[in-house]
Amino acid sequence: TLRTEERQRLARERREEREKQHAAKETQILEKERKAKLQYEKQLEERQRKLKEQKQKEEQRRAAVEEKRKQKIEEEKERYEAVMHRTLERSQRLETRQKRWSWGGSVTPDSESKTALLYTASKRSTSTANLKQTEAVMNKRLSSSAALLNASDRTRRSQLSPLDSSVISRLLAPTQASLARSKSAATLSAD
């Protein structure tokens, strides 16, 4: 009986030991599962947070692009309006000049339009003839003055340093440009 009791006790102890090991394994497995679940949830939250941030950044970028586009359209609109305004002002100025230069100082009615047209046509033909004469005179003057300038320039430049001669040629350039401007002004006034 002692031996059977001893065997039963040893068998019970082994069974208890196995149950303890089995319970420990189960708790380890459960702990691992819990940790894996927590990590998965953490990763999921992180991914969702990143997606949300990315979406917000994308929306901000889109809003900035849209704002830039609107601003560009507004600037182009303002530029276009300014150009139109300047063009209208110029055309109004031209109209007022033409009215000032027209025969009688104003636009003529239909009954007088034929005589006004004849008058302006004869006026234009005489003014173009006068213009051609003044052009020929101005061209002669320009060529003679240019020849004089070139001759005097050559003698002076031979005595001056290259720096001084370049400064003098630069100073002479506006004079020739102003002559050209006066010629174009004469052409415009004749027209």
pLDDT in tens, the chain (191 residues): 668 888 888 999 999 999 999 999 999 999 999 999 999 999 999 999 999 999 999 999 999 999 999 999 999 999 999 999 999 999 888 888 777 765 554 444 444 444 555 555 455 555 455 555 655 655 565 555 555 555 555 555 556 666 667 667 666 665 666 666 666 666 666 65
The residue assigned the tokens 């708790």 is: 27
The half-sphere exposure of 106 on its side-chain side, counting CA atoms within 13 A, is 4
pTM score > 0.85 for this model? no
Residue 165 near residue 157, CB atoms below 8 Å:
yes
**How many residues make up the chain in this entry?**
191
3-class SS of residue 160: coil
- Gap between the Cα atoms of 104 and 109, Å rounded: 11
Query: H helices of the chain, where?
Result: 2-101, 110-159, 162-190
